Amino acid sequence: MSPIDAAALKKDFPLLEREVDGRPLVYLDSAATSQKPRAVLDALNDFYEQHNANVHRGVYALAEEATAMYEAARHNLAAFVGADPRGLVFTRGTTEAVNLVAHSWARPNLKPGDEILLTELEHHSNIVPWQLAAQATGAILRWVPVTDDGLVELEAMSGLITDRTKLVAISGMSNVLGTIPPVAEIATLAHDAGALVLVDGAQMVCHMPVDMAALGVDFLTVSGHKMLGPTGIGALVADPEVLDVMEPFHGGGEMISEVFPDRSTYKEIPNRFEAGTPAIAQAVGLGAAVDYLERIGMEAVRDHERELTAYALERLPKVGARVFGPADPDLRGDAVSFWLEGVHPHDLAQLVDREGVAIRAGHHCAQILMRRLGVPATSRASFYVYNLREDVDALVEALGKAKAVFE
């Protein structure tokens, strides 16, 4: 049995008390964005009601309180992923974090003929920035295939990593298939060839224990809104030695040391990469989300979602759904994508919504993977700490009704 009392935790999330057309809401789209517990909502309100001021500027009480809370959130998140807070840059989310590396590391360091290694699992946020960097530098993108059951082909990856490889950018957990690649093993292969490693942690950090030092990666991205935090906040976590030699991404106030008519000098990391007024309240809210998850325990989160995923993998085929991705729940996270024969995913999502069940339909910002799977889109259910086995039952029942409509 799962060590998490999801029924009790669900009461911490006000939105999950909603009904849809008179039916209880069954929210199964946490891979897109998670719901927010009362503790996070209270932290946001408390900041605006009691501490609202700009950070790193004023010397009055409110400003010092705001700065302390903002920096406490940085240290909190850094500890959560086993990293040095000097290497944690707050961003708007994973997309901005990847773009920061593509702009400030890749463009100055890559030259024609250098290679960036990606996999067919990647989200567009971990593809398009590298395409732009390659176009600007003459670098080349190489693609690691995935197997029919959605696993990264490590043998192929090993053959593709050469002395021309300068960066391996890989999802820590697929947002479509839930696949969890062996990141530490991949990092060793890359480092042995002299390449750096970036992990898209948008799905990974919120669903399993993460220790950046143990993984041995150089860059890790974090999405706050997928881990119970507010929207508009995330982070790039980097090896401080790598980050220290990178140029700024954005220019403006607060990231400078001195400004002259013809040049400027910049602050030390991480402030060098946080131009302008940051998302202060959102960072504080993210810190509260980290506290909430730590109280549960990330091992318990992982165990709970593994159990739910295994149950979904067992039940979905019984209603005629073709499930994509690894068959072993130990090799995948919370996202379960499927195709119900004879029903387009968009139609399916609308029909199950009538039963109060919220799932995602589309290409999930992973069109390369969709082509690999041979489908234009999939339906996707994704779970989190507030989901129950009964939610899977509700999904299966709704799928049965939708199928009957088309039959």
> For this structure, is 206 an active site residue?
no
Of 365, 367, 389, 393, the active-site residue reads 365
**Per-residue DSSP letters for 284-336?**
HHHHHHHHHHHHH-HHHHHHHHHHHHHHHHHHGGGGTEEE-S-SSGGGB-SEE
Rounded CA-CA distance 84/88 in Å is 7
SS3 10: helix
As a whole number of Å, the CA-based R_g of the chain is 22
Rounded CA-CA distance 168/191 in Å is 10
- Residues with Cβ within 8 Å of 282's Cβ and at least 6 positions away in sequence, in order, are 44, 224, 229, 230, 231, 232, 233
| Helix pair angle (128-137, 94-101), 10° resolution | 20
Amino acid at 252: G
Rounded CA-CA distance 393/315 in Å is 8
- Residues with Cβ within 8 Å of 192's Cβ and at least 6 positions away in sequence, in order, are none
Q: How many residues does the chain have?
A: 407
Annotate 121-188 with three-state secondary structure. Answer: CCCHHHCHHHHHHHHHHCCEEEEECECCCCCECHHHHHHHCCCCEEEEEEECCCCCCCECCCHHHHHH
For the annotated catalytic residues, the residue numbers are 365
